[in-house]
Chains A and B, each alone.
Chain A
Amino acid sequence: MRYSGFKVFTEGLFGNSGWKPAWRDPAPKAEYDILIIGGGGHGLATAYYLAKNHGLRNIAVLEKGYLGGGNVGRNTTIVRANYFLPGNSEFYSHSLKLWEKLEGELNYNVMHSQRGQLILAHSDGQRDALARRGNAIVNQGDDAELWSLDQVRDFAPYLDFEQTRFPIYGGLMQRRAGTARHDAVAWGYARGADRLGVDLIQNCEVTGIDIENGRVTGVQTTRGAIKARKVGMVVAGRSSQVAAMAGMRLPIESHVLQAFVTEGLKPVIDSVISFGMGHFYISQSDKGGLVFGGDLDFYASYAARGNLPMLEHVMEAAMTLMPMIGRAKILRGWGGIMDMTPDGSPIIDKAPVEGLFVDAGWNYGGFKATPASGWCMAHLMATGEPHEVARRFRLDRFRTGHVLDEEGTGSQHNLH
């Protein structure tokens, strides 16, 4: 056995010098059948399912930094399937089912914990909207429970039920929602893909996409030119730059999203809780840190760090919802670059260039989508046809008016 309690013990005696790398570190070959640009969660999952589900072998993932150094290692790890719109609903439902089998599939502990997510309502209108959403989720075949004020009070007595500014009216609980260890998801898919023969090539930035007669023929990278018949762009917040290498202009604006973690505390919050009045959500990691975040900083940004106004807003929302949090000390805050679309929904589609594919526009909800995004992108790249649950994630839907505006907030990129 590669990993065991006994091995941890004996390695401790010998200075941890006997561990072997979990995947190879190959140099790029001159040519592959398929290249995936971007070694985040989605890129690694795409490569894994191309090999696993479609039996393809000659594949490489090109990552400009290190595997898992992007948003897959910066998110607040919430995994849920409580979407309303047809198009989104079946996709996230599919994703959650994949999550529920992921550890067995990868033989890797991704610490998927279905501890539930509670979304709070603060007015009659909000409660009605949650009832409607809950019904749609149940119709989709997933779980949702509409909770009364008393049920919320029993479950989370530490919320501020006395204040009159944003009174709590009840909530919507999804018990199958929860969290997972984000790095482990990247590592699990990386190891799985590597074992199926996928070359994972790090420190390899794609700097150009080669196109001849409307067909993709390969890419230029900081480690030389690599030829390929098919290329998938799976670069999250950098989607516009990479697509521009193929002469494309995407319906995406990049924004920064912040998150925060406190020092480790004894168990106190045993599910995910979302404030309905100010975009604040919180959970507690297995290490004990309270992990929480809020809205975008709202202006286009590629700085993987945020600004003070949103930090203040998040702290204010936290104090409004659960005053006890004021006693905790913040350890860290950080930011990640979000690929925001004008309707808040993603894109998994062919690009106008033959052999080129795009998986982008995950806004701030792409972690939970990781398994299904990889599954559907692999299906599209292998078969040339969109997967049934992702067929509405079209690149041209803004021009044709088939938008998927889950929150109904309009066409401005930063409002989703």
Chain B
Amino acid sequence: MRIPCPLCGPRDRREFTYYGSDDYLNRPAPDAGAGPWDDHLHLRANPAGETHDLWYHEAGCAQWLRVHRNTVSHEIYGAALVAGLKGGAQ
């Protein structure tokens, strides 16, 4: 599996660390209560097919990526830097 890093180009999966679904980008307010935090941390759509999830290019540019890929075929459609996305570090 190769992930096309916007900064480094296509790189082997071994260079990346997986975090989880891009639900992690929708961080609720600290006082939003148990429901929204449960949603954010635990509950998942968990799609069989196309998904967006977060990968850290640890052995490369040390950037977080939002990767568009397929959980059934392992095909990767593209990747964008999290920095600059809504919810990402500005």
Q: Which of A76-84, A245-253, A372-380 contacts B (4 or more CB under 8 A)?
A: A245-253
* Tally of chain B residues near chain A (CB < 8 A): 26
- Which residues of A come within 8 Å of B, CB atoms? 238, 240-241, 244, 249-254, 298-303, 307, 309, 342, 398-400, 411-414
In the docked arrangement, what's the CA distance between A200 and B38, Å?
37
Query: Given known contacts A254-B71, A307-B1, A307-B13, is B18 in contact with A299 (CB within 8 Å)?
Result: yes
Q: Are A413 and B20 in contact (CB under 8 A)?
A: yes
Summarize B's interface: helix, strand, loop or mixed.
Answer: mixed
B29 close to chain A: CB less than 8 A: no
Q: List 20 A-B contacts (CB under 8 A).
A: A240-B47, A241-B48, A244-B45, A249-B43, A250-B46, A253-B21, A253-B46, A254-B48, A298-B18, A300-B21, A300-B46, A300-B51, A300-B71, A301-B74, A302-B48, A303-B71, A303-B74, A307-B1, A309-B14, A398-B43
- Closest A-chain residue to B73, C-beta based? A303
Report A198 CB to chain B, min CB distance, Å: 28
B72 close to chain A: CB less than 8 A: yes
> What residues of B have a CB within 8 angstroms of the CB of A411 in the complex?
41-42
Query: Given known contacts A252-B46, A301-B74, A302-B71, is B41 in contact with A398 (CB within 8 Å)?
Result: yes
Of residues A238, A241, A254, A399, which shows the largest number of chain B Cβ atoms within 10 Å of its Cβ? A399
In the docked arrangement, what's the CA distance between A302 and B75, Å?
12
Report A383 CB to chain B, min CB distance, Å: 28
In the docked arrangement, what's the CA distance between A307 and B48, Å?
18
- Closest B-chain residue to A411, C-beta based? B41
In the docked arrangement, what's the CA distance between A413 and B1, Å?
21
> What residues of A have a CB within 8 angstroms of the CB of B19 in the complex?
412
In the docked arrangement, what's the CA distance between A78 and B79, Å?
39
B35 close to chain A: CB less than 8 A: yes
In the docked arrangement, what's the CA distance between A240 and B72, Å?
14
Contact pick for B44, options A253, A301, A303, A309, CB 8 Å: A253
> What residues of B have a CB within 8 angstroms of the CB of A398 in the complex?
38, 41-43
> What residues of A have a CB within 8 angstroms of the CB of B8 in the complex?
none
Q: Are B53 and A300 in contact (CB under 8 A)?
A: yes
Contact pick for A251, options B18, B34, B35, B43, CB 8 Å: B43
Q: Are B46 and A342 in contact (CB under 8 A)?
A: no
> What residues of A have a CB within 8 angstroms of the CB of B46 in the complex?
240-241, 250, 252-254, 300
In the docked arrangement, what's the CA distance between A249 and B44, Å?
6
> What residues of B have a CB within 8 angstroms of the CB of A298 in the complex?
18
